Amino acid sequence: MEIGKDYIGVGVGAFIVNKNNELLLQKRAVPAEKDHWCIPGGRVELFETLEQTVIREAKEETGLDVKIISIMGVCNHIIKEENAHWVAASYLCEIDKGEPRIMEPDKASDMRWFPLDKLPAKLTITTKKALEDYNNLK
């Protein structure tokens, strides 16, 4: 049995904005939504809180220590064509320590800062929803 395919997965995303009003995105190297840009994140492990997960995943994927500012929203990440079903919470985060770098090259083929008004066209469903939630917070 595979999480997110045979049963619903629970995940989180770290919406990290720097002082230049740029968003940190990574390009997915694996399905679902391969070659789309996304915020760092991943699945919740057994007995782990959502907040613990977003801090852990940000560190594992980007090398960054992040501080959570607030929860932004929840996304129903359903892609029937790819047999993928996740529920993912996004958190507004700021960098506490470190410089971003690709820590999992098997999962992310690129990582960059993008101005919030010049994001790439191919964004994942969860990233689009997190962006909506971020704009609603303002």
Q: Is residue 61 in some structural domain?
A: yes
Q: Which residues pair with 82 in a beta bridge?
A: none
If you average pLDDT over every residue of the chain, what do you get?
96
Q: Is residue 45 in some structural domain?
A: yes
Q: Please give the average per-residue pLDDT across 20-30, as a whole number.
A: 97
In the chain, pLDDT over 90 holds for what percent of residues?
A: 91
In the chain, pLDDT over 70 holds for what percent of residues?
A: 100
Which CATH number belongs to the domain containing residue 86 in this structure? 3.90.79.10
101 lies in which domain range? Answer: 9-137
Taking only the tens place, the pLDDT of each residue in 63-97 is 999 999 999 999 999 999 999 999 999 999 999 99
Q: Is residue 3 in some structural domain?
A: no
One-letter amino acid at 123 equals: L
Q: ∠ CA(5), CA(11), CA(15), 5° rounding?
A: 135
pLDDT of residue 1: 84
The secondary element (H helix, E strand) that includes residue 129 is helix 125-137
Q: Is residue 1 in some structural domain?
A: no
Taking only the tens place, the pLDDT of each residue in 42-62 is 999 999 999 999 999 999 999
Q: Is residue 38 in some structural domain?
A: yes
Q: Is residue 66 in some structural domain?
A: yes
pLDDT of residue 28: 98
Q: Please give the average per-residue pLDDT across 122-136, as a whole number.
A: 97
Which tokens is 36 given? 């789309």
pLDDT band at 125 (very low <50, low <70, confident <90, very high): very high
Q: Is residue 54 in some structural domain?
A: yes
pLDDT of residue 2: 82
| Number of domains the chain is built from | 1
